[in-house]
Structure 1
Amino acid sequence: MFFPEQENISSLPSNKVPVKYGELIVLGYNGSLPNGDRGRHKSRFGLSKRSKANGVKPSTVHSAYTPQAAKIGRSTESPIDFVVTDTAIGGPGSPDPQSVQSTISRFACRIACQRSPPHTASIYAAGFDSSKNIFLGEKAAKWRRLDGQMDGLTTNGVLVMHPRQGFTQDSQQGVWREISVCGNIFTLRETRSAQQWGKMVDAESQELVDGSLLDLCGATLLWRTAEGLAHTPTRKHLEVLRQEINAARPQCPVGLNTLAFPSLRRKATPDEMQPWAYLRCGHVHGYHDWGSQRRHHEESRGQEGRQRECPMCRSRGPYVPLWLGCEAGFYLDKAPPTHAFSPCGHVCSEKTAAFWSRIPLPHGTHTFHAACPFCALPLGAEPRYVRLIFQGPLD
């Protein structure tokens, strides 16, 4: 992904802090990549004002018939600012995305930011090769417009959805569209790689708004503006909420042992005090095994094998450990984490859970489904999220 800026304005003073335009946050990574954020491989990317603009203008069109003739760059090429790999669905313990063949175009998209207020960011399909030319693959759909300018789509497409009413407690889902190389808006193709492009939508813009979703066919990213992030809970705020929950000393209604959410930095293996929940009803317990080896064997087979009957209300459904959602950029408000997604068990505020449970995210070449933003696991049948019911200490 390449992020040019428009307007060649003079360089910033060396002692001045760069202006921040916003951040791109990759869905499915709850605060960091499994092996940590390193270099250009991160779970979130900050876009700031460069010391010198590097915007681009249309130029000559060249046709290259072989990859060798095009001198295609790799992800290590200098024109590429950020590297986004395919999202490993399910979070910790999922297969390494680098071990799976990627469906993301090597030069997926460009984002151009205005250097002067209001610092509008616009998205375009395709990026730059090693010669700093915009490159489209041989199988990509491309055409010449009536004005003579070339336009086209990446092989698997770059999709965008702008939420209605912004990224707030009142946010509603928008409509998924496809972006072209020139930034034109089209309805979706029949499949992601179909040669026939959709109909142009003149009434819509390629300008990103707070909460816009970008899908690269393998990874989905959330755009948060600097202004939007200023009203979003911070990691420190989420830590305070975690400590407040633990300070209330919730207890398992069966074992009567005290429960506590682990540190936000630890997100892999449940500990002895980890809260577990029955996601059909929301009753929170500590982990317990009712003694049957056969049942224990069934529960150890993964999410589907964790179907359990709640001892409080007898409802039957997924029985999973609860994990706090650590990526603050996914939250729509600063309310306490009171609800959990099903079947993954990631916990966040009610408004946040309600919003993401309604958003259809692209999956594969032609399907959509709602998913947990923290781990990208598809949400199950109703209820897609549940209000958690904690029991306080008996003393």
Structure 2
Amino acid sequence: MIGGKKLRKKCFSDVSSHCSHASKSDGSEMPILKEQNSNCAASEKVKYGELVVLGYNGFLPEVDRWCRRRRSKFVLYKRDSASGIKPSRHRAVPSSLASKAIMGTKRFSISYSSPKDQATVVEYVPDDNTDMFQIGRSANSAIDCVVLDVFPGNLNVGKESVKSTVSRFACRLIADRTSPHIVRIYAAGFDSSRNIFVGEEATTWQNENTEIDGLTTNGVLIWHPQGTFLGGEIKPGWWREVSIGGKIYSLRPSRCAREKGKMIKDESNILQDGTLIDICGATLLWRSDEGLKKSPTKSDLEELVDELNSGKPVCPVGLNTLVIPRKVTPDMNEDVSEKQQPYVYLNCGHVQGSHNWGERTNSERCCPVCWTMGPVVKLCMGMEPAFYVDSGPLTFAFNPCGHMASEKTVKYWVNMTIPHGTNDFKVLCPFCVTPLAGSTGYVRLIYQDHVD
């Protein structure tokens, strides 16, 4: 029971039994299933959890569906055959021979170069107890989860001219097959040759036990909830940086600085329900399987919308019935006509229909109910259930984008600062990553409903 409402378990069944990756036409979620046994139903597979990209609200715009392994959500299942690896040995070789030493084996390896014409090669061997999943912007077959830069409001204008800050091989996850709740994150991913090359300009060092480690150019940052994600009961936390070897460090002075942060020995690279992963240009939310079972589903959210619509909210000016859209599509709200579409005055929260009364400028109007001046925006449903911390009524909306959600969910995210660009942190709407405005970043919705 969350928020006084009994939630159903979600059974994800959109899988492919004959190919490495299954896909959905709307780009919503991707089950990562390799060597899937066609005789084993998806409900019987062990699920590690889900990686959800902030900013897509449950779907990818049509223009962005260029790669079938690019999705707004990635569902990670236990593979039929272990795909994990573990470090075996490291050896020093001349830099001129490092490439040959790596290419000459079929093993996974990481090569750390140094200015002293010396390289350290760390070799990895298969690990029957783990599965590996890789994240990055490359469409290379080595990448399981293709993630590109996410722009506020899902805008595509000018993307071609913007240089991506997401690494081609950003990071990798190692999931424990015997303890599925243990999933660890490491910076950098292996390419199709099973190699990671760490150049001389990268930040590298040797630990006290002579193990070599390093950071990627723009870094992989993580934020663990200090409390429980569900219910929104958290304490202030800190963004950290994870190294190639999986150690946790405080942030560098700037994203690409050569100086590493301080090692945080009492913190772990094990993902928690609600952990945020930032790969510089895109931020992902990790939801554990256990947490998702207690979370609202898309059907639950649709029922909450139906409850609102059953009250028949009306526009106080046009006196027409408003309809909260149940769909969120690239055309925004195709299931609701413009006459029925609700709008909200962001300074007072009154929900109304589209009208010209009180219009003063292109951006501001006078609310006909309370006479408050302010901007007006179209209300739209936050339909990605993974971003919700409870299943409370949809009584709040983010300012200025107008995405609706429950009170606890909205207040959870407005207290969260998320990396924005290479050296900035901002409070963002999780559904569209638009920077929030106003003194609070949200508005309480006031409907004129149940008037019969």
**Same-fold call, TM cutoff 0.5:** yes
Q: Given that residues 88 and 96 in structure 1 are in contact (C-alpha distance below 8 angstroms), is that contact kept between their aligned partners in structure 2? A: no
- The structural deviation recorded for 1:168 is 1.7
| RMSD of aligned alpha carbons | 2.5
Instruction: Give the structure 1 partner of residue 164 of structure 2.
Output: 102
Q: Report whether the alignment pairs 1:43 with 2:69.
A: no
Deviation per residue, 1:106-153 (Å, 9 max, x gap): 111111100013430011100002211223355421222232222111
Give the letter aligned to residue 315 of structure 1.
Answer: T
Q: Given that residues 249 and 260 in structure 2 are in contact (C-alpha distance below 8 angstroms), is that contact kept between their aligned partners in structure 1? A: yes
Q: Report whether the alignment pairs 1:52 with 2:81.
A: yes
Distance 1:205 1:29 in 2: 28
Give the letter aligned to residue 246 of structure 2.
Answer: G
Residue from 204, 217, 237 that aligns with 2:300: 237
Unaligned stretches of 5+ residues in structure 1:
1-10, 300-305
Q: Given that residues 126 and 136 in structure 1 are in contact (C-alpha distance below 8 angstroms), is that contact kept between their aligned partners in structure 2? A: no
Instruction: Give the structure 1 partner of residue 182 of structure 2.
Output: 120
Q: Given that residues 126 and 135 in structure 1 are in contact (C-alpha distance below 8 angstroms), is that contact kept between their aligned partners in structure 2? A: no
Distance 2:176 2:94 in 1: 31
Give the letter aligned to residue 233 of structure 1.
Answer: P
Instruction: Give the structure 2 partner of residue 227 of structure 1.
Output: 290
Alignment of 1:194-209 (within 5 A): 194-209=257-272
Q: Report whether the alignment pairs 1:22 with 2:22.
A: no
Give the letter aligned to residue 277 of structure 1.
Answer: V
Residue from 361, 368, 380 that aligns with 2:437: 380
Unaligned stretches of 5+ residues in structure 2:
1-34, 104-135
Query: Normalized against structure 2, the TM-score is what?
Result: 0.77
Distance 1:352 1:63 in 2: 54
Deviation per residue, 1:178-216 (Å, 9 max, x gap): 000011110000110000010001011111100000000
Query: Normalized against structure 1, the TM-score is what?
Result: 0.87
Distance 1:47 1:210 in 2: 14
Between the two structures, name the one with larger relative contact order (CA 8 Å, sep ≥ 6).
Answer: 1
Give the 3-state SS of the residue equivalent to 1:57 in structure 2. strand
Q: Given that residues 338 and 349 in structure 1 are in contact (C-alpha distance below 8 angstroms), is that contact kept between their aligned partners in structure 2? A: yes
Identity of aligned residues (%): 49
Q: Given that residues 358 and 367 in structure 2 are in contact (C-alpha distance below 8 angstroms), is that contact kept between their aligned partners in structure 1? A: no
Q: Report whether the alignment pairs 1:285 with 2:352.
A: yes
1:63 and 1:227, CA in 2 relative to 1: closer, same or farther beyond 3 A?
Answer: farther
Q: Given that residues 47 and 180 in structure 2 are in contact (C-alpha distance below 8 angstroms), is that contact kept between their aligned partners in structure 1? A: no
Residue from 385, 404, 427 that aligns with 1:347: 404
Residue from 6, 13, 32 that aligns with 2:59: 32
- The structural deviation recorded for 1:89 is 0.9
Q: Given that residues 414 and 440 in structure 2 are in contact (C-alpha distance below 8 angstroms), is that contact kept between their aligned partners in structure 1? A: no
- The structural deviation recorded for 1:273 is 0.8
Q: Given that residues 156 and 192 in structure 1 are in contact (C-alpha distance below 8 angstroms), is that contact kept between their aligned partners in structure 2? A: yes
Alignment of 1:64-213 (within 5 A): 75-91=138-154, 93-95=155-157, 97=159, 100-137=162-199, 139-169=201-231, 170-213=233-276
Q: Given that residues 59 and 329 in structure 2 are in contact (C-alpha distance below 8 angstroms), is that contact kept between their aligned partners in structure 1? A: no
Give the letter aligned to residue 340 of structure 2.
Answer: M
Q: Given that residues 127 and 134 in structure 1 are in contact (C-alpha distance below 8 angstroms), is that contact kept between their aligned partners in structure 2? A: yes
